[in-house]
Structure formats: C-alpha cells, structure tokens
C-alpha cells in the first residue's frame, strides 16, 4: 500500500516527508477494524512527531496522522459484523486500562494516540479499535477528517473543562489553526461573544466574517488592554488557548473576576510567565485539557451530522503532494485544516480551496 511517511527525525519536518509504495497493509487485531482511508488531516501533533517527542521512541520511517475518515473493509476478532462497509470517523485517543490503586485517586484518562504512539491515518489503510469509531453515513470524507480531532479537543476544553455557559464572552488566541477555529465554531453555536487574536490582519478579517465579534491584532504589545476595553473593562469569562508562552500573560490579564483559562497546547513553548497575584485575587481557574472521550466525540459530531457546525478547510492535497501539505502546516499561514484526499488525483491550492468554500 501507499503511505505518507516521515523518513527521519528533523526540523523542518516537511524536508523528511515522502510518499512511499509497497508498505505492508496493517491487519486488525482483536476488537479492531481495517479502514480504507478516504481522507486524513494534519495537526500540530504531526509536526511534533516529526521533530521527536520527549519520552516517545518513534521508529522512523513513521506514518503519523490522528484524523481520518474512510470505509471499514475488514474486521478483527470479536468485532460486530455490522461495522463492515460502514463509513467511519476516527477518535485517535485510545483510552488505556488503568490498574486500580487504593492509595491513589486517578484523575483523567491514560490515553494512547493513533498517529503518535502507533502509526496513523497517513496511509491507504489504517487500523483502529471499533470502539473509537463513529458512523458518518454520507458525510463528505474531507469535511469529516477536518472536523474530528480539533472539534473534539475544543469541545472538551469549552464544555467539559471550562463548563461554558451560553452567552459567555470567550477569547480564542491564535485564530487560524484548526483548534482555534473549532473553538470559535462551538462558542458561536452556544451564543457566545467571541474575541480572537492573531498576528495577521487577514486572519482577523476572515474570523470576523465567520462570526467572531471582535479581533485583536497581536503586534507584540500588551493586547489584553484591547480585550478589556472591548468588554467594558470587565474582561472575558473564558480564555481558550493553544499558543502557550507567547500569549499566556496577556490571556490571564484578559480574564474577568472568576474567569477560566483553559489550555490544550503550547506551540510557542510551555515555560510561560504568569501573574499569581491576579490569579488568586480575581479567583481565576487555570485548567489543562487534552483530546476527549467517545461520549464527548458523539456530542460534538452530532453537530456535524445536523449541519450546525462545519469545519474550515484551508487546503486539500493528494498524497503525492504530502510534502507541500506539511510545508503549509509548518508555515503557520493556514486558515483551517489541511487535508489529504486519498480518493482524488487533483491537488487543491489554498487559494482554490478558499474559492471553493465561497462558491
């Protein structure tokens, strides 16, 4: 089978990406299915895998990919035959069984990520536990692949961790990435007023066109003053961040009394400077969040099924243009998800993808 592989560890990652043929097709184990890939999508995680993740012994060449949609073509032992022929969407976060310990209360799941700990969806075929799949019916594979992990991550951040209330004010940092746009989608769905930040005026303008209430240009100055001015000095109820160090202090300073800061990542670094006096005096909450379970996945994917939420797709590429797809992700110029279409022979440029969305 064909597979997009990261040949070796390095930075930039795209220089080490290639499409290879003749790789062995994976075989489903007990409780697993084999999926013929229709579309897969890139995440920042693919770059971290290529650069080398601390504590994880990635064996290159490696096929990453934690977003995938396709058709079930074979079943492992113990899988209900009803799965055969179903078109499915993957939740790549596989919950691991934990040994009970009477001396320790477990907090949160121990997960293994398809596309990080084991090879993922950047292949013509991938395997996954049937328990981590949802039937998507006739939903377009590109839309489904672009939706999965980012909207699941955003749902847990806002709904499970921050306990978002309808009508709240929400700050989303670094608009343009998949998670940030998913946060905008979900917050808007619940009637929230959303302010977004970006270093690029064009991205702010596009976010405003999608329904953001306000945009703040991140020019390196303390933009928290602009956020507080927009809220009449009150501050926002929730900050949802995946940027990290570069925006952390401004994010904390943008919160209203009793506000919640929730983070799912730190693309600019994790060694942030904070303001503990502001945290305790204003009784702020700082929460971590990652991935999501199948109940959360069903809840957010229901919004895709109903048409209430649609992902923003930056560009669609064929497997033959995988290097260009990784280059696009590394450039941080994208606005939305970067998708690999395994069904198509034509590559769509970012400009053409935008024109297709507007048509």
Residue-wise pLDDT for 215-244, tens only, equals 999 998 999 999 999 999 999 999 999 999
Contact assessment for residue 253 and residue 278, using Cβ atoms and an 8 Å cutoff: yes
Domains in the chain (CATH in brackets) are: 3-138+312-358 (3.90.180.10), 151-288 (3.40.50.720)
Contacts for 114 with CB less than 8 Å, ≥ 6 apart: 65, 66, 90, 92, 94, 120, 121, 126, 128, 132
Confidence of residue 75 (pLDDT cuts 50, 70, 90): very high
pLDDT per residue as tens digits for the range 121-178: 999 999 999 999 999 999 999 999 999 999 999 999 999 999 999 999 999 999 999 9
Confidence of residue 354 (pLDDT cuts 50, 70, 90): very low
Contacts for 191 with CB less than 8 Å, ≥ 6 apart: 166, 167
pTM: 0.90
């Amino acid at each position: 089978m064909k597979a997009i592989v990261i040949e070796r560890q390095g930075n930039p990652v795209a220089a080490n990406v290639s499409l290879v043929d003749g790789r062995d097709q994976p075989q489903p184990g007990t409780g697993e299915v084999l999926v013929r890939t229709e579309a897969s999508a890139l995440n920042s995680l693919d770059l971290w895998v290529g650069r080398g993740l601390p504590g994880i012994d990635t064996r290159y060449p490696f096929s990453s990919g934690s977003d995938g949609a396709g058709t079930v073509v074979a079943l492992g032992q113990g899988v209900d035959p009803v799965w055969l022929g179903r078109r499915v969407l993957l939740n790549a976060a596989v919950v691991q069984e934990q040994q009970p310990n009477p001396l320790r209360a477990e907090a949160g799941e121990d997960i293994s990520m398809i596309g990080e700990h084991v090879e993922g969806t950047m292949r013509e075929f991938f395997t996954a536990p049937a328990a981590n799949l949802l039937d998507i019916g006739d939903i377009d594979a590109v839309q489904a692949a672009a939706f999965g992990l980012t909207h699941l991550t955003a749902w847990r951040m806002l709904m499970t961790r921050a306990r978002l209330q309808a009508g709240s004010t929400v700050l989303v940092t670094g608009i343009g990435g998949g998670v940030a746009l998913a946060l905008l989608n979900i917050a808007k769905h619940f009637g929230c007023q959303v302010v977004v930040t970006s270093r690029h005026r064009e991205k702010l303008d596009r976010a405003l066109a999608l329904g953001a209430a306000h945009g703040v240009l991140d020019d390196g100055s303390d933009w928290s003053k602009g956020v507080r001015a927009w809220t009449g000095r009150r501050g926002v109820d929730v900050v949802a961040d995946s940027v990290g160090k570069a925006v952390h202090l401004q994010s904390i300073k943008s919160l209203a009394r009793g506000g919640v800061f929730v983070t799912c990542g730190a693309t600019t670094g994790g060694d942030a400077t904070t303001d503990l006096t502001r945290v305790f005096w204003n009784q702020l909450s700082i929460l971590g969040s990652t991935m999501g379970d199948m109940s959360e996945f069903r809840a957010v994917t229901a919004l895709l099924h109903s048409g209430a939420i649609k992902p923003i797709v930056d560009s669609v590429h064929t497997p033959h243009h995988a290097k260009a797809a990784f280059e696009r992700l590394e450039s941080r110029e994208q606005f939305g998800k970067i998708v690999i279409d395994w069904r198509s022979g034509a590559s769509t440029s970012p400009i053409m993808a935008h024109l297709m969305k507007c048509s």
